[in-house]
Amino acid sequence: MLHCATMEREDDRFEPLYQDSRSTWRVMAYRVFAATVSGCICWIWFYRVSHIPEVGGNRTGLVRLVWFGMLGAELWFGMYWCLTQSLRWNPVRRQTFKDRLSRRYENDLPALDVFVCTADPEIEPPLMVVNTVLSVTALDYPLEKLAVYLSDDGYSELTFYALAEAADFAKHWVPFCKKFKVEPRSPAAYFSRKKTSDYRCDSEDAEVEKLYREMADRIETAEKLKRVPEDMQSKYKAGFSQWSLDATRRDHGTVLQILIDGRREVKGEDMEGNELPTLVYMSREKRPQYPHHFKAGAMNALIRVSSKITGGKIILNLDCDMYANSSQSAREALCVLLDERQGREIAFVQFPQCFGNITSNDLYGNRWQVGIDVEFPGLDGNGGPLYIGTGCFHRRDVICGRRYGDEESESVWQTGNHKKMGEISEEEIKNLASCTYDENSQWGKEMGLKYGCPVEDVITGLAIQCRGWKSVYLNPEKKAFVGVAPTTLSQTLVQHQRWSDGDFQILLSEYCPLLYGHRKIGLALQLGYCSYCLWAPTSIPTLYYSLVPSLCLLKGIPLFPEVSSLWFLPFGYVILATSAYSLAEYLWCGGTLHGWWNEQRMWLYKRTSSYVFGFIDTIRKLLRVSEPAFVVTSKVADVEQAERYNKETMEFGVESPMFTLLAVIGLVNLFCFVGSVKRVVVADDFQTMWLQALLTGILLVLNWPLYEGLFLRKDKGKVPTSETVKSVVLASLVCTCFAFL
């Protein structure tokens, strides 16, 4: 028996901790489909070049100008479509074997440091933040090897107070989760499942829920009163004494408090006498005269500070709204990072960004289902997914600059010096979070997250891959992390403006994937990066296609071949085939027909507003007309907004340049369609104008929620009256001016 057990363990050493799977037949079928679409795209280009209008009279110049504009837009769309095929050319799925990990490494699991970042207590409520912290504090992981760090860039006493409350509540929550294998391990998410069939309920459960509700009430009361209870100020005097009365959010010293750490005098134990994970609060120093580099600066400060406290070899970073939905996420990631055959070449493991508040038909297209189930597996097959800034497990030494092939270094930032932990004071560690520490150093360049870009995560992941490392994408059946998606149109568009702006900056910088990645990463992965970096410039041809065909319909200028012509076939095939495939892909990913239609609308809205402004912002920054900025998306909605969101009623409600642009485009389409109805129904014009009328009609249907917001709705979520008047005037001027050209 002993011999058999030994043989089994020996055999287990040769079994991989994860495996890949690929669907060859599906990929081959898609490649055939893509080849037919590519052929028709070339046919369309040839039509544009070979059928340049020969029009007499005063309209010749205008018609040709419009025609060449259509050629330019279609050239861009065609090339961009071919570019995005790299995301679907070689998808790979991963399966992990956590049982094998436990048998081989249970006693040798590496120390894990979890970084949670928050920036504004007004739009990122402290109660939401501590739910994220508590969820990762209770991960299924050796507690003596687990540490959680909260970076508060909002310099908020209320956030620190909430974390102190969470430290006390963790004494009950962590053993409760371990004992009953609670899922998910965010108290708010777990206790909200009372009405579901998988919710357990007994006296112990009720007692823990009562403690949580009491804690939540105290935190929310402190928020309303803007005051921390005196008993907590006394209990955590060392922490609260670090706040200065004359300090502000943008001008203050470092606040650092170790709330729980078994290696120090603040050793924490739960109600059963077991050790609790380390828990640390940090608000790094900020001064107006020094750049703080937004989230990248906070992450780099955390890397340095944590290296002197726990020094975990693995780092997980999370946004403050992304709670741990699965307690097994760390073990899933380590199945990849500790795999003896392939794990040594993996720098980071990226989980998808999932949301728990998406409506049934995904009103604002925030689920990004196709990206999660199709595009990121495609990136994974080409060398690894992008680093998206949350839900990512990093090797500490790699994010600190180690190149693939170099031996593991024992530098001060890459591993903690545990023998001297007790000798290092908090004051000494505070210096590592000072606003001057990065000056004249490699931080933000060769070490840590990159500085100078709104999407510091993407550029950091690219730099890591260009140092020879690969990354892996894991999307287990049970979502690892779940967050809060924007619940208004304005929030969604602002978020995508920042993303498109940052990605476009990467394309125009020294980190352009095609140049920086040349001979460092594969061409397919370079193209995959470019497909996101080109979001912003793709807005220009989309804007053109959304306006000019409709205006030409009003003026009677045909831009497409007649329905009876053979030249109509490539246009018809590309429209029908790509639309049908897009719908099938969305449904295959678990979406609904209505959800797909909502995604098409948001695709249009983002490309004709967010990405337009992202494009303009990038150009302004290149010309040094404006400075970089980082906009935090609000996680708070009032009661009426929440009700409209749950009913899937689109939220406008505020004045915004992006809403003005959307409204003007939508009204131009409406005015042109109404003004051309008579012409289109005439038999002679139907053949030549049908496709233009169809395009304009589709835009009208997509814009129906916008028209409701402009003219029909009376609630607070409608388009403001001033915005409506301004948009009607501008749209009328556009149509009138074009009609007289």
DSSP 182-207: -SS--HHHHHTTTTSTT----HHHHH
Is 457 part of the annotated catalytic residue set?
yes
Dihedral angle sign, alpha carbons of residues 341, 342, 348, 350: negative
**Cβ(422)–Cβ(468) under 8 Å?**
no
**Active-site hit among 321, 362, 457, 503:** 457
**Cβ(105)–Cβ(295) under 8 Å?**
no
DSSP 241: T
Please give, one letter per residue, the 3-state secondary structure of 355-416. ECCCCCCCCCCCCCHHHHHHHHHHHHHCCCCCCCCCCEEEEHHHHCCCCCCCCCCCCCCCCC
CB crowding 672-687: b at 16 or more within 10 Å, else e: bbeebeebbeeeebee
Measured distance between the N- and C-terminal CA atoms of the chain, rounded to whole angstroms: 92
Give CA–CA dist 585/492, Å, rounded.
23
Dihedral angle sign, alpha carbons of residues 665, 670, 676, 682: positive
**Active-site hit among 113, 140, 152, 153:** 153
Only one residue has tokens 């009430």, namely 217
Question: How many residues are there in the chain?
Answer: 741
Give me 382's structure tokens: 């080409």
Q: How far is CA 6 from CA 104, 311, 340, 518, 725, in A?
A: 13, 34, 19, 48, 80
Give the three-class secondary structure for 719. coil
Is 153 part of the annotated catalytic residue set?
yes
Residue 5, burial from CB neighbour count under 10 angstroms (0-12, 13-18, 19+): exposed
Give me 42's structure tokens: 């070339």
Residue (of 585, 510, 474) closest to 21 by Cα position: 474
β-strand partners of 19: 95
Give me 329's structure tokens: 């996420």
Q: Which residues are catalytic?
A: 153, 457
